[in-house]
Structure 1
């Protein structure tokens, strides 16, 4: 019983942390990338499935940086800025939380 309670506690804390990262990522997207990409957060997150977002954000977001720098050349400087490295992982958490097949819809319309 004690192990079950501990497992449930760990699961609940993990879900809270993931949600917090997604919320931070949403804020980063809206503040830094929305104007560069010309789309709201809902449309952005729905561009890929959860597994596609996971692939794009692997290896320090290398795939994401490559794809979105090519699609939005004016965003390349922001995406490749070393100060954005950790922030891009938060954007990835946001994108994965609200990917097209996630069943979740962000409130950032």
Structure 2
């Protein structure tokens, strides 16, 4: 039983390790900036890291709900499979540059 628990924990960590803030920034620029109309640093600075964690829990349902209401033109994309595939990277990006992170992205975000 202990071996199974360790294996599951290692697998979960490996999935998280696959997410990438730089990819998230690129995906934001490609897919979301045209819909949202502002740079990724503006998005990231809207919340603290703990808030971003809650927005991306459970398939990012809270993020989708809030930002679909805030940007109705983005609702279709936010409810797409593509968004679900890039969401872990977007989460890493906004977490890295969240209001309380102390980091600022480059000016092209």
Normalising TM by the smaller chain, what interval? 0.7 to 0.9
Give 1:106 shift: 0.8
Match of 2:61 in 1: 62
TM (normalized to structure 1)? 0.79
Q: Tell me the matched-pair count.
A: 94
- 5+ residue gaps, structure 1, are 1-13
Is the aligned partner of 1:47 residue 2:38?
Answer: no
**Deviations 1:33-76 (CA, angstroms, capped at 9, x unpaired):** 00111111111110111111011001111110000000000000
Report the TM-score, using the length of structure 2 for normalisation: 0.79
Superposed structure 1 runs of 4+ greater than 6 Å apart? none
Q: 1:37 aligns to what? A: 36
Give the alignment's Cα RMSD to 1 decimal.
Answer: 1.9
Structure 2 segments unaligned to the other structure (5+ residues): 1-12
